[in-house]
Amino acid sequence: MKLRVIWIFVVVVCLAACQPKKKEINFPKTDLAEVALIPKPVKTIATNSAFALDAGTVIFTTQTDSNFEAVGKFLSQKIKLKTGLNLGVNHTNDEQPMERVVYINQSDSEDLKSPESYQLYIKKDSILLNAKTAAGAFRGIQTLRQLIPEQTNDTLVDHPLWLIPTGKVLDEPRYAYRASMLDVARHFFTVDEVKKYLDILAYYKYNALHLHLSDDQGWRIEIKSWPKLTEVGGASEVGGGEGGFYTQEEYKDIVAFAAERHITIIPEIDMPGHTNAASLSYPILHAGGKADTPRVRTDMLVGYSSFHTRKDTVYAFLDDVIREIAAITPGPYFHIGGDESHVTKKKDYIHFVENVEKIVLKHGKTPVGWNEIAQADISSSSVLQLWNEPHNAVKAAKNGSKIIVSSAEKMYLDMKYDSISKYGLTWAGMIPVDVAYNWDPNTFLEELPQESILGLEAPLWSETISNSTELEYLAFPRAIGFAEMGWSPAAHRNWDEYKLRLAQQVPYLSRMEVNFYPTKLVDWPE
């Protein structure tokens, strides 16, 4: 395998070398270590020259895996959007001689220790990106995208070119799971709004998006066997708006868009609490007793609703819901919620969680739940998401479960930045950009073994936001810092150095029309 890869790359480079060349360019010194990369790579070695990206550059990829070619095409599309260059992928342009090569290679190198590891070797006439998987190659091209300068340097030659610093980037993620959550239940977000969020997350090497698809105020995904869920439950949201929902075809479109970016979609149906919209659609699901009678809810209150935990009809309903969603969700996870079910008796709650876990497993998915589910006798294969009860996370970890860290006081993107924030809540405290960045998940909870941490997730609840502009205000720039926290070694993170790199993200954020919060903690460029 190694010999074949080397031979292919040599042939590609030789093809480039055999093309008629323009006059040798004397590149100004460029320093790879000075580029404001986020997340910060594990290792960067500068060689102080440059690769000239121009119309004579061609992208080649491993041909034995079509997913690598897809990564090459994605890179070509993003380069065109940034520079206007239309680079061929696995073919040359007859009108433009091939002068330089970007080769995206599937490698079996033992130095690539995780599925998302990559090696980036940049020379004056070639760029070699090694990865074991297409996911690793995709993470690598995000680094390459960030290395392309904003401005062309056409003072050296008679045509536009972009100078990419030469050197090596050897990189791999700290955590296998790096996610955000978007609450589309309290306020509905369109397919295009979700896609924009996914595109930005991908740029910063996130690999999962958790969609909170149901809550008291709305049900957001079509279930063909229970149509009133969207007819009734999908028609409301916080503040009295019209709500909305995704058809299964629209949901599949989101899943496919995410998959192209090597991001896994994790669907959540929150239960047995947070279920008012479902019980309003089908009153037979309602618990009765202490649970409030279902009605249209447009407020932000929590804890008053519950499914009936002893009715066979409820479990038949959930079997249908989980079956239909699982069938159109290729990722391994299904989130069952489980938080803030205050009016469900503890014994009924435990009975419910254990039954729903079995349904999820039956449909071939790994159950995920908020930390309250550790009260039940959950399987060690189930994943627990820690938001506010450390003792439950510790208990689950001792049982063998992996833990997703989503501390409300550190990671909730819906908390205000400070007293002058336009949107957001304060119940978990305000979270300035530096506070969000300056902590370590591995030491946050001393009793939690490092090996039990699956990764991080930054939730964005939508009680106070209703469109992309408001979403971006709360998410960015904090979500960029969480990207680095999830990817980069803890020893590499330093707030004073990071905030300089963060300031240099403005051209990308502006190009993407991201309405980020311009915190005064960062010296943003004019």
**Cα–Cα distance, 346 to 372 (Å, whole number):** 11
Taking residues 495-500, report their average pLDDT. Answer: 98
Would you say residue 113 has pLDDT above 70? Answer: yes
Sign of the C-alpha dihedral computed for residues 121, 35, 139 and 17 taken in this order: negative
The pLDDT, as a whole number, for residue 125 is 95
Residues 6+ apart with CB under 8 A from 85: 53, 54, 55, 57, 79, 160
Report the distance separating Cα 266 and Cα 210, nearest Å. Answer: 4
Closest CA to 482 of 402, 413, 385: 413
Alpha helices in 28-83, H assignment, sequence order: 66-83
Rounded CA-CA distance 429/158 in Å is: 56
Residue 339 above 80 pLDDT? yes
Tell me: pLDDT of 14 over 90.
Answer: no
430 class by beta-carbon count within 10 Å (0-12 exposed, 13-18 middle, 19+ buried): middle
Please give the structure tokens belonging to residue 196: 């924009």
Question: What pLDDT is stored for residue 257 in this prediction?
Answer: 99
- Report the SS3 class of residue 18: helix
> Range with the lowest mean pLDDT among 26-30, 248-252, 279-283?
26-30
Instruction: Kindly give the interhelix angle for 478-487 and 495-503, rounded to the nearest 10 degrees.
Output: 120
pLDDT-above-90 percentage for the chain:
91
**Whole-number pLDDT of residue 24:** 56
Query: Tell me: the pLDDT tens digits for 142-196?
Result: 999 999 999 998 777 788 999 999 999 999 999 999 999 999 999 999 999 999 9
Does residue 316 carry a pLDDT above 60?
Answer: yes
What pLDDT, on a 0 to 100 scale, did the predictor assign at position 3? 43
Q: Cα separations (Å) of 470 from 231, 241, 375?
A: 27, 16, 36
Helix, strand, coil percentages (3-state) for the chain, rounded to 5, are 35, 20, 45
What pLDDT band is residue 85 in, cutting at 50, 70 and 90? very high
pLDDT of amino acid 4: 46
Q: Report the alpha-carbon distance of residue 515 to residue 525 in Å, rounded.
A: 15
State the Cα–Cα distance between residues 405 and 457, nearest whole angstrom. 6
Which residues belong to the active site? Answer: 340
Q: How far is CA 303 from CA 166, 334, 356, 500, in A?
A: 56, 22, 19, 42
Q: With bands split at pLDDT 50, 70 and 90, how would you rate the model's confidence at 30?
A: confident
Residue 28's pLDDT is what? 64
Per the CB < 8 A criterion, the answer to whether 464 and 449 are in contact is no
Report CA 55 to chain centroid distance, whole Å.
32
Residue 505 pLDDT > 60: yes
**Region 17-41: what's the mean pLDDT?**
74
Q: What is the mean pLDDT of the chain?
A: 94
340: left (phi over 0), alpha (psi -120 to 50) or beta: left
* Residue 21: pLDDT over 60: no
- The three-state secondary structure class of 82 is helix
**Sign of the torsion angle spanned by Cα atoms 441, 508, 170, 497:** negative
Segments of 355-510 assigned E as strands: 366-370, 383-386, 403-405, 453-460
- pLDDT given for residue 509 in this prediction: 98
d(CA 224, CA 251): 13
| pLDDT, average across residues 475-504 | 98
**E strand spans, 176-290:** 177-183, 208-212, 214-215, 218-219, 264-271
What is the C-alpha to C-alpha distance for residues 516 and 4, in angstroms, rounded to an integer?
A: 46
pTM over 0.75: yes
> What's the rounded mean pLDDT across residues 287-305?
98
